[in-house]
Structure 1
């Protein structure tokens, strides 16, 4: 959604309707812009991916059923604050 102007190593993202600040430091040198798709794991952007790859990943996650639903519920309930 946006790269934070005061913290260029952080970006606000939307993960299934949950907004979070994530660390994008591992993608230093990669051209990133609002609307890009990125692979995130435990609050870190691991790689920039295209929309087809993102859709494929979401299809897989949704296909595993309850485990995916539990993970999204836990994400919505967690509180992560910017430092």
Structure 2
């Protein structure tokens, strides 16, 4: 199973690279698969590559669902 996660673009770098933030975790990823990316955009990230832009509301809903799944897994493990 593969998982792609929304992240916010916080900095654009040379060579079609960008820094993204996910709850304060900063990663450098490739944005070469997308036509245009700007600081503040949300992108769906999989294996170090931005696959698509996503609007902020959808990104926040997805991140909330991921957090909820994590809480449920933690409770089930007790």
Select 1:39's aligned residue among 30, 40, 44.
44
Q: How far did 1:19 drift? A: 0.9
Normalized per residue, the structure richer in helix is: 1
Q: TM-score, normalised by structure 2?
A: 0.72
Deviation string for 1:25-62 (max 9, x for gaps)? 111x2x21111111111111010000111011101101
Instruction: Give the 4+ runs in structure 1 shifted more than 3 A.
Output: 66-69
Q: TM-score, normalised by structure 1?
A: 0.68
Q: Structure 1 stretches of 5 or more lacking a match?
A: 70-83
CA RMSD of aligned residues (A): 2.0
Greater RCO, 1 or 2 (C-alpha within 8 Å, sep 6+) = 2
Q: Structure 2 stretches of 5 or more lacking a match?
A: 1-9
Question: What is the count of residue pairs matched by the alignment?
Answer: 65
